[in-house]
Chain A
Amino acid sequence: MENIIFERIKKEIAENDVVLFLKGTAIFPQCGFSAAVVQVLSQLGVAFDDFNVLEDNDIREGIKEFSNWPTIPQLYVKGEFIGGCDIVREMYETGELTDLLAEKGVSFNAAA
């Protein structure tokens, strides 16, 4: 049963440059940590696919095994797992996030 879920996850992260698995949506994040990552991405003007795990329990649990990461939110860029709220925020503050986006050819507004 698990690989059907993994296949769905792989498809989602392959079809979208930036995918955020979060609780809620980009417009209405329903958890502080999810909201923090949405804010970072919005400030950088990064377009992303917001996948609401609250509406899909298979993915909500499956994503944790897929990335061996026990919590939500989870950010993926070009199919690669980048991290959860702590790591995304830390990378944003150190400039590593924008370096990564540039390296992977994902557009963002550099002025941020």
Chain B
Amino acid sequence: MAMSASEITNMIKEALPDADVRIEDLRGDGDHYAAYITSAAFEGKSRVQQHQIVYAALQGKMGNELHALALQTFVPNA
């Protein structure tokens, strides 16, 4: 049971309303995506913490329904 790009985007935006989310479907199989996410919630956080915020937004899907999500997180430039 894979996930759609819009499902991923909606889940992230639900948790991070200000987030700018860009999803790339790497293989067209609904299982391998790259995501580029910009949110003020990442400010002052380490990369690990930033990615953990995204994984929390995905409510356990990461590593289960979603096998691969190449993540790049950014802080909005002031």
Contacts and interface: CB of A to CB of B under 8 A. Distances in A.
Contact of B55 (A70, A87, A91): A70
A64 B63 contact: yes
Contacts of A83: 47-48, 51
A68 B52 contact: yes
Interface string B51-66: 1100100001011100
Interface residues of A, number: 14
Contact of B62 (A71, A81, A82): A71
A71 B47 contact: no
Interface of A: 33, 64, 68-71, 81-84, 86-87, 90-91
Interface of B: 47-48, 51-52, 55, 60, 62-64, 68, 70-72
